[in-house]
Amino acid sequence: MTFAGFISQLLEIVIAVGLAPLLTGWVNQCRAWLQNKSAPSLWQPYRMLHKLFHKESMVADHASRLFRIAPYVMFGCMVLACAIIPTLSTDLPLAPAADAIALVGLFALARVFISLAAMDIGTAFGTMGARREMLFGFLAEPALLMVLFSASLISQSTSLATIVETLAHRELAIYPGLPFAGVAFTMVSLAENARVPVDNPATHLELTMIHEALILEYSGRHLALIEWAASLKLFAYSCIGVALFFPWGVAEAQAPMAMLLALPVLVAKLAVGGFLLAMLETASTKMRIFRVPEFLATAFLLAVIGMLVHLLLNH
């Protein structure tokens, strides 16, 4: 690994960790504007993290080590996921590790740890949330894999860096399978990030919440890490969508200056994506909990249709 490569990889990680709460704040602000409400500050997520890091972490007496280490594992998985996604450059030291299956595995590892931690305390809501999280994850992960495989058929590789390079520099062409994959990816992203219509991040209704039920027993720095990891997950999914369906503007070299030039393009794409997410949430209503499996099954079906369309049109 060259020094320039190390600095470039570190720069991508720092930008992801720093921008993730800002993206969450932007989505919350846009949603408040669209709902004709008083919008919170764009920096509110940073203030919340600062407050939580300075509070004492209260842990139940019978909590195991798993409960204490789960926030760190979840945060580490999200940071590593953001590091291997080609957000600013496709030629980074961790690019060979940017495999679609490895990326989905990181998301699954974080889900398993937070679900086990929720059941570790033994509360009814934590166990209920863990069961829902594992069920929806069981349905969402295959759909996400099918989306990534649909894009990989074009580049003949499951490496995200190769997929982005191929899509960004191939001659202008229409891929009928990608719209199906795009709709499926949007549906999976809403479910994985606990957004409306699957879940409502602003609610604390015990019978309907999914993500919030997992973290009811956390406080202080542990809760701060979980909230930061949730912002990183939203940032990671947004960057995956941008990289797969709007790959233009991504640098191709291990050069910090080239990545800094690609940063404004990424910020503009995320700003538009965050506004569209807020519009989608405002126009949607929270669906009933038992309809979520049908929602994710539809996403899986659309992703498979996208693959079949691409295969049929190329043979």
pLDDT in tens, 83-134: 999 888 888 888 887 788 999 999 999 999 999 999 998 888 888 889 989 9
Cα separation, 181 vs 52, in Å, equals 38
H or E element, residue 179 = helix 177-192
Please give the model's pTM, rounded to 2 decimal places: 0.94
The answer, yes or no, to whether the previous bond of 179 is cis (omega within 30 of 0) is no
Token pair in block for residue 105? 């595995």
Q: Check whether 259 has a pLDDT greater than 80.
A: yes
Cα separation, 159 vs 178, in Å, equals 17
Cα separation, 143 vs 141, in Å, equals 5
Residues 6 or more apart from 55 whose CB is under 8 A from it? 219, 220, 221
Token pair 């030291």: residue: 93
Tell me what pLDDT residue 237 has: 96
Name the amino acid, one letter, at 112: V
**Comparing C-alpha atoms, which of 98, 77, 76, 74 is closest to residue 87?**
98
Residue 207, Cβ neighbours under 10 Å: how many?
8
Residue 88, Cβ neighbours under 10 Å: how many?
24
Residue 105, Cβ neighbours under 10 Å: how many?
14
Token pair in block for residue 18? 């720093």
The model's pLDDT over 36-71, given as tens digits with 9 standing for 90+, comes to 988 889 999 999 999 999 999 888 888 889 999 999
Over range 271-280, report the average pLDDT: 94
Q: How confident is the model at residue 208 (pLDDT cuts 50, 70, 90)?
A: low
Domain coordinates of the chain in residue numbers? Answer: 3-313
Cα separation, 77 vs 277, in Å, equals 24
Residue 261, Cβ neighbours under 10 Å: how many?
13
Q: How confident is the model at residue 266 (pLDDT cuts 50, 70, 90)?
A: very high
The residue ranking higher by pLDDT, 208 or 12, is 12
Token pair in block for residue 152? 């990989």
Q: How confident is the model at residue 32 (pLDDT cuts 50, 70, 90)?
A: very high
Tell me what pLDDT residue 17 has: 96
DSSP assignment letter at 57: P
Token pair in block for residue 162? 């190769």
Cα separation, 208 vs 190, in Å, equals 16
Contact 7, 94 (CB under 8 A): no
Q: How confident is the model at residue 204 (pLDDT cuts 50, 70, 90)?
A: low
Positive or negative, the CA dihedral 192, 216, 32, 208 is positive
DSSP assignment letter at 55: S
Cα separation, 31 vs 151, in Å, equals 31
Tell me what pLDDT residue 33 has: 93
The residue ranking higher by pLDDT, 134 or 249, is 134
What ranges make up the beta strands (E) of 61-182? none
Q: Check whether 315 has a pLDDT greater than 60.
A: no
The residue ranking higher by pLDDT, 208 or 215, is 215
Cα separation, 14 vs 75, in Å, equals 14
Cα separation, 91 vs 9, in Å, equals 9
Cα separation, 265 vs 288, in Å, equals 38
